[in-house]
Amino acid sequence: MKNFTSFADAGDYQALLNKALEIKADPFGYQHVGRNKTVGLIFFNPSLRTRLSSIKAAYNLGAQAWVLNAGADSWTLEMADGAVMNGTTQEHIKDAIAVMSQYCDVLGVRTFPTLKDREADYSEEVFNKIMKYATVPVISLESATLHPLQSFADLITVAEYKQTERVKVVLTWAPHVRALPQCVPNSFADWFSEISWVDFVITHPKGYELDERFTKGARIEYDQKKAFEGADFIYAKNWSSYHDYGQVLSQDQSWLVDTAHMNLTNNGKLMHCLPIRRNVEVSDAVLDSPAALIIPEAGNRVFSMQTVLHELLS
Ligand code: SN0
């Protein structure tokens, strides 16, 4: 592994998953790998789980971590190549990232989509610029289009809770009050469409089709109730439209995942990456039931990060 930005970087996913389960069973057993190493983390957007689980992962591995909130804590960064910097931006991203690379052995980066310019977002303009200027391995802490550490944590969670050899995993669109990125569902599809022991189904209202580069021919079922039948895992998430880029096309409350929905499943578990708008995306009754895996799922963010750090620092 050279960088970690998508499923493709995971290589042999089953081997990586086994490594994560090994590390989880003995979280402090690999501290020789992180000894005298520094993990840098730069955030261009808010974070709770990613920030804290990354610090905890570094700590478990015997490494140190620092965090920079770009913009808020640093100089205002210029992104445009060749800019005449006589305006409000104070430091060019090329200098900032090259300097930060001097202060760490691996750099985690969070960027977000504009949700306005699909071309800029889906070419990962900002993230790729950072990759170009970094001189240490880069980990995506969520880019404009993907969130691979979340998907890897989701894979760990499904592997831990599955009761049968093969499982049916359903990614369902859920309502929301704002326009959200497609990163989490793109990434979930990028990973779960590839897992040999998963029957993967995506369900959403018409118009919410994701980029086929990530869904890779996965089954789409527009009837949510039909999709839920026999499911072992329900992964709820809102996203804005990819085709009608960044638009909210529906707020249909019948898509809210409630107990009646869960009763259609095979005693299915409910997953969500968090943060969740309770009683908008999923009902309290489901989120507070034994079917909900949201807390252990968030806990696994430590082990997806720790495993990736282990691979990049070994
Ligand atoms: C992020 C998203 O990409 O959907 C979380 C990613 C881990 N969620 C939000 O931005 C939610 C914001 C809100 O207003 O609820």
Check pocket membership of 180 for ligand 1, CB cut-off 6 A. Answer: yes
Task: Map the chain to HEC letters.
Answer: CCCECCHHHHCCHHHHHHHHHHHHHCCCCCHHHHCCCEEEEEECCCCCHHHHHHHHHHHHCCCEEEEEECCCCCCCEECCCCCCCCCCCCEEHHHHHHHHHHCCCEEEEECCCCCCCHHHHHCCHHHHHHHHHCCCCEEECCCCCCCHHHHHHHHHHHHHHCCCCCEEEEEEECCCCCCCCCHHHHHHHHHHCCCCCEEEEEECCCCCCCCHHHHCCCEECCCHHHHHCCCCEEEEECCCCCCCCCCCCCCCHHHCECHHHHCCCCCCEEECCCCCCECCCECHHHHCCCCECHHHHHHCHHHHHHHHHHHHHC
Provide the pLDDT for residue 74.
86
Is the confidence at residue 228, as pLDDT, over 90?
yes
pLDDT confidence bin for 73, thresholds 50/70/90: confident
CA 190 to centroid of ligand 1, rounded, Å: 19
Atom number of ligand 1 nearest to Cα 181: 3
Check pocket membership of 277 for ligand 1, CB cut-off 6 A. Answer: yes
φ, ψ at 122 (rounded to 5°): -80, -10
CA 180 to centroid of ligand 1, rounded, Å: 6
Contact (CB, 8 A) for 207 and 242: no
State the residue for tokens 């570094």: 58
CA 230 to centroid of ligand 1, rounded, Å: 28
Atom number of ligand 1 nearest to Cα 237: 4
CA 165 to centroid of ligand 1, rounded, Å: 32
Taking only the tens place, the pLDDT of each residue in 83-140 is 999 999 999 999 999 999 999 999 999 999 999 999 999 999 999 999 999 999 999 9
Is the confidence at residue 193, as pLDDT, over 90?
yes
Indicate the domain borders of the chain: 7-147+301-313, 150-298
Residue nearest to atom 11 of ligand 1 (CA): 275
Amino acid identity of residue 1, one-letter, is M
| Count of Cβ atoms closer than 10 Å to residue 10 Cβ | 23
Superfamily of 7-147+301-313 according to CATH: Aspartate/ornithine carbamoyltransferase (3.40.50.1370)
Q: Which residues are annotated as a binding site?
A: 47-50, 75, 110, 142, 147-150, 176, 237, 273-274, 277, 301
Global pTM reads 0.98
Provide the pLDDT for residue 71.
78
- CB under 8 Å to 26, separation ≥6 — which residues? none
Question: What class, spelled out in words, does domain 150-298 have in CATH?
Answer: alpha beta
Q: How far apart are CA 219 and CA 193, in angstroms?
A: 9
State which of 45, 50, 180, 184 you would mutate to test the pocket of ligand 1, scoring each by most atoms of that ligand within 8 A of its C-beta: 180
CA 195 to centroid of ligand 1, rounded, Å: 25
Check pocket membership of 11 for ligand 1, CB cut-off 6 A. Answer: no
Check pocket membership of 275 for ligand 1, CB cut-off 6 A. Answer: yes
Check pocket membership of 146 for ligand 1, CB cut-off 6 A. Answer: no
Check pocket membership of 71 for ligand 1, CB cut-off 6 A. Answer: no
Contact (CB, 8 A) for 5 and 148: yes
What does the pLDDT average to over 260-283?
Answer: 98
Retrieve residue 108's tokens.
Answer: 């985690």
Is the confidence at residue 72, as pLDDT, over 90?
no
